[in-house]
Structure 1
Amino acid sequence: MIPLEDIGGESCEPVSGFVDTIYYAERNDFTTINDPKKMCDPVPANVATSFADLATITPDHVFKAGKKFFKVETVTESGNIKSVQIGEPGRGLYQNDYVYKISGSEAEVLGYLRWIKNKKLVVLVEEFGTGNVRQLGSSKFPARAKGEHIVEGLAEGENAATITITDKNFGPSPIYKGDILTVIAP
């Protein structure tokens, strides 16, 4: 049982926003995807002892040999995460949506949209203000993507892909404190 805690108060610099790089990998590229601790479990070591335990992933995820996270450079200040409680009382979950933009209509951008549409993913995004790395997709429920691309008629108009990454989880997208492997070890 988690003891109740006092939470909230003033934050030193309560700014919002996300860094303009996200990281993604296919869910089946991992041998182990760690999750936050549980509210209840037969194994005491798996049970959270604080509110923070319920929203934090501390051990590193483990990739299969030759696999890693890949990066996407996003349009600065285009991303946002929204976590909404869903489900009936007594069996609620959270749906987490991260929306971001990639500028341009290069073949790589259009190909990425085609590739990502049916993939089961794990996606990491870093908050600008806190530095917290938030995770969408888990060991039990992958993140999924929906995209759209627009090239407006005006020369100064928008030319970008807008991608929404969605997952469902027991709580808002948790904070990942492990290493983000972007280079395959020799």
Structure 2
Amino acid sequence: MSLGLVDVTKTTLGDDSKKGISVELLYAHREEIESIPDRDGVTAEGLATISGDIVFKTGGRFYKLYSTREKGEIRYSMEGEDDSKSITSMLEIYVPGQSAQILGWIDANKNQDFVFLVRETCGNWRLMGDSCWPCKMDTAEGTTGKTRSDAKGNTIVFSSEGMAPVYTGVRQETPQA
């Protein structure tokens, strides 16, 4: 039986009507990670799930990055010619303010290889970036705003190859011993 041949009904999809992502994301530089497990495979659901743990090198861990509520999302798009299709996932976040900290973070990380764990508001954690294809910062646009009612902040878009799978492994937020 082909992995693509499964019943996809409203009852099998579950209730994931909560939209958006959490205000707190986890990220790491790819170089600090020892290994990222493969997708579980075997079934259609397994192709979109990673249940193993991300293992960090000594001292490595996930760091926190804030995104304004209801201003972030994960989306994907399919691209390519017939028989050569691929999927790219995008993570868009909005970080408020124009502090030296966020401006310096953007500049220092503009060419960095990332791995992100992003929690959807429905509770699923999604992985952006893997062993072969790290997550990269594509664009960063910031503004000071013009008037008192304007937004002042930074829209940052990251991308990685493939569908961002559901991650059920350990989220290491303290340094690896």
TM-score normalised by structure 2 residue count: 0.92
Q: Which residue of 2 aligns with 1:30?
A: 33
Instruction: Please provide the CA RMSD for this pair.
Output: 1.5
In structure 1, C-alpha distance between the alignment counterparts of 2:103 and 2:10, rounded to whole Å: 44
Matched, 1:161 2:154: yes
Partner of 1:98: 91
Report what 1:12 is aligned to. 15
1:157 is displaced (CA, Å) by: 0.8
Q: 1:135 — aligned with what?
A: 127
Runs of 4+ in 1 over 3 A off after TM superposition: 10-13
Residue of structure 2 in register with 1:123 after alignment: 116
1:157 aligned partner, one-letter code:
D
Q: CA deviation at 1:184?
A: 1.7
Q: How many residues align?
A: 173
Contact 1:150/1:160 (CA < 8 Å) preserved in 2? yes
Unmatched tracts of structure 2, length 5 or more: none
1:33-55 deviations in whole A, cap 9, x for unaligned? 12214xxxxxxxxxx22111100
CA distance in 1 between counterparts of 2:152 and 2:25 reads 20
The correspondence for 2:50, drawn from 57, 63, 83, is 57
Deviation at 1:122, TM superposition (A): 0.5
**Could you tell me how far apart the structure 2 residues matched to 1:177 and 1:13 are?**
16
Match of 1:144 in 2: 136
Residue 97 of structure 1: CA displacement? 0.7
Alpha-carbon distance, 1:93 to partner: 1.2
CA-CA distance at 1:17 after TM superposition: 1.2
What per-residue deviation string (whole Å, max 9, x for no partner) do you get for residues 3-55 of structure 1?
Answer: 53211305435121111011111111111012214xxxxxxxxxx22111100
Deviation at 1:91, TM superposition (A): 2.1
Give the secondary-structure state (helix, strand or coil) at the position aligned to 1:112: helix
Which consecutive residues of structure 1, in runs of 5 or more, have no partner in the other structure?
38-47
The answer (yes or no) to whether the contact 2:60–2:176 under 8 Å persists in 1 is: no
Any idea what the Cα deviations from partners look like across 1:110-156, whole Å, max 9, x if unmatched?
A: 11111221001111111102x11111111101110121111111012
Whichever residue aligns with residue 28 of structure 2, its letter is A
SS of equivalent residue, structure 1 residue 139: coil
Which residue pairs with 1:43 in the alignment?
none
Structure 1 CA distance for aligned equivalents of residues 38 and 100 of structure 2: 35
Contact 2:140 2:157 in 1 (8 A): yes
Q: Percent identity?
A: 27
1:33 touches 1:139 (CA, 8 Å); kept in 2?
A: yes
Cα distance in 2 for partners of 1:185, 1:174 equals: 24
- TM-score with structure 1 setting the length: 0.87
The residue type paired with residue 80 of structure 2 is G
